[in-house]
Chains A and B, each alone.
Chain A
Amino acid sequence: MLDVTSPLLAIKDLQAWYGESHVLHGVNFDVREGEVVTLLGRNGAGKTTTLKSIMGMVAQRSGSVRFEGRELIGSAANQIARAGIAICPEERGIFASLSVEENLMLPPVVKPGGLSLERIFDLFPNLKERLSSSQGTKLSGGEQQMLAIGRILRTGARLLLLDEPTEGLAPVIIQQIGKTIRSLKEEGFTILLVEQNFRFASTVADRYYVMEHGRIIDQFSNAELDANVEKLHDYLGV
């Protein structure tokens, strides 16, 4: 059944609700193996909800989420993680009651082929220095973000969902995260990125989808970015 030309992740007519409120109204897009794809859009457009729906963290959802040809819409979050998808949430989700090392080691390895700890410390040298720190939340914002990304690289998941990894960080940290995303791409990771900052996204992404009111309203490749800057300003209201 698995078609070799099919995308790694295919989203079709994805709908999601939080209680009474209908947040996603039929989202369609796909991500091919080894790509970095960015979801752009204003606050409240449904970008985070899209990531959470893929991950199974939104209880009420319908449509189709196919990963490696396998339908995941009916699966629980823990099964989706075991299929090889990992999320770095917008709020980073560093656990206050866990040490830095426990935070880093928390996500279980779900598949072979994850990065070794040495490789993770290559990418984020600061983490190694802060490893003995008693509490994960005592780290700076940038260090917490590196921890939140670093811990999902160990697990062997090949598709990473990164939700606004640059939010609220200093330019030098943003550059380091950009560098990290590019080297992860070189290592063969597939990344679905949510961003408000399309200047940052343009340094890492292959393709863009623009979301508004719970739908995809536009898409273009990185090469087409310059021609679309005007339109993007409009979409994003910047």
Chain B
Amino acid sequence: MFEIFGIPSNALFGQLLIGLINGSFYALLSLGLAVIFGMLNIINFSHGAQYMLGAFAAYLLLQYSGLGYWPALIVAPILVGITGVLVERLFLQWLYKLDHLYGLLLTFGLALIFEGVTRNYFGSAGLPYTVPDSLRGGQNLGFMFLPNYRAWVIVASLTICFGTWFVIERTRLGAYLRAATENPALVRAFGINVPLMITLTYGFGVALAAYAGVRAAPIYNVSPQMGSELIIVVFAVVVIGGMGSILGAIVTGFGLGVIEGLTKVFFPEASNTMIFVIMAIVLLVRPAGLFGRRA
């Protein structure tokens, strides 16, 4: 045991780890928001609820069909992603030409409905979801104890974030997406089915949220309000990183998770407000966000 600035190392690294875990959820969720905003021009306020649906889908798959954590990690995002596709086809597609406010109100309303329905059937106490057997236990790193599941959450999150960034910035499909964000009419006139691409993008963004939800289930419990607790911070992350910037969402998500964790160690009273203080400063200095392009 040693001390850094008078703080025991295990407390410091413990909070750093929690910061990275939270950061990995901030990053995944703000990434989904950024992808959706870039393509659909919709601020997806139901993102937190869709994250929660991912966790519930994993819980229900385990209860009723015996599908464990690993299959749920794939099946739950697909199921919730399909509901996203339906939402886009039924509602969102009519809003693209209107003010942002309409999309925001619609998705906010959907979030309330999703939360209300799950609370009605499952209560708000929270349901346990156990860590898969293969990821029980942990490693003693000498200066701290690292639970295997948490290490996995961070690695998996980084992988998905990098994978998404790679697809968008380095592949042909990504070039279609970026081009369609700039000038959808021309991309369509080149022979690409842009409306279909928009629908699938929303489905993918929602599936990302659900994927985060499945991975959160063993850490935070499964409860109807798990999304709304997180989404406020995630929106602050998106504002700080810059709306629509993929890399910005990833870097800011992890960075702010770590800053939040460190604040808990050095100045615990400020830990809940630190991110919003940073948001206020960024808005004053760089209104488009740290990585944002000016509109």
User: What residues make up the interface of A, taking CB atoms closer than 8 Å to B?
Assistant: 55-57, 76-78, 80-82, 86-87, 89, 93, 95-98, 102, 105-108, 110, 152, 155
Contact = CB atoms under 8 A, between A and B. Distances in A.
A107 B192 CA distance: 8
A98 B179 contact: yes
A81 B187 CA distance: 10
A230 B102 CA distance: 55
Given A77-B185, A95-B182, A97-B181, A102 B190 contact: no
Question: Which residue, of A57, A87, A97, A107, has the highest number of chain B Cβ atoms within 10 A?
Answer: A97
A105 B178 contact: no
B193 A78 contact: yes
A108 B189 contact: no
Question: Which 3 pairs across A and B sit closest by C-beta, in order of nearness?
Answer: A81-B191, A107-B190, A97-B178
Contacts of B181: 97
Question: Which residue, of B176, B179, B187, has the highest number of chain A Cβ atoms within 10 A?
Answer: B179
A96 B293 CA distance: 12
B189 A55 contact: yes
A98 B191 CA distance: 18
| Interface residues of chain B: helix, strand, loop or mixed (majority) | helix
Interface in B160-177: 172, 175-176
B172 A105 contact: yes
Contacts of A56: 189
A85 to B, nearest CB: 9
A157 B192 CA distance: 14
Given A97-B178, A98-B175, A89 B190 contact: no
Question: Which residue, of B176, B178, B186, B190, has the highest number of chain A Cβ atoms within 10 A?
Answer: B190
Given A78-B194, A105-B172, A87 B179 contact: no
B178 A77 contact: no
Contacts of B186: 57, 87, 89, 93
Nearest to B170: A102
A85 B176 CA distance: 19
Given A95-B183, A98-B179, A87 B191 contact: no
B188 interface: yes
Contacts of A108: 190-192
Interface of B: 172, 175-176, 178-179, 181-183, 185-194
Nearest to B177: A97
A82 B185 contact: no
A53 B118 CA distance: 48
Contact of A97 (B179, B191, B193): B179
Contacts of B194: 78
Given A86-B190, A89-B186, 5 more contacts: A77-B189, A81-B189, A95-B179, A98-B175, A152-B190
Contacts of B183: 93, 95
B191 A105 contact: no
13 contacts: A57-B186, A77-B188, A78-B194, A81-B188, A81-B189, A93-B186, A105-B175, A106-B175, A106-B176, A106-B179, A108-B190, A108-B191, A155-B191
A88 to B, nearest CB: 10
A92 B191 CA distance: 17
B192 A78 contact: yes
Nearest to B181: A97
A187 B181 CA distance: 34
Nearest to A58: B185
B182 A96 contact: yes
Contacts of A97: 178-179, 181-182
Contacts of A152: 190
Question: Which residue, of B178, B181, B183, B186, has the highest number of chain A Cβ atoms within 10 A?
Answer: B186
A215 to B, nearest CB: 24
Nearest to B180: A95
Contacts of B188: 57, 76-78, 81
Given A95-B182, A96-B182, A57 B172 contact: no
Contacts of A86: 190
Contacts of A155: 190-191
A10 B193 CA distance: 25
A39 B84 CA distance: 46
A96 B188 CA distance: 17
Contacts of A96: 182
Nearest to A96: B182
Nearest to A59: B185
Nearest to A85: B189
B173 to A, nearest CB: 11
Contacts of A110: 191
A152 B160 CA distance: 34
A96 B183 CA distance: 10
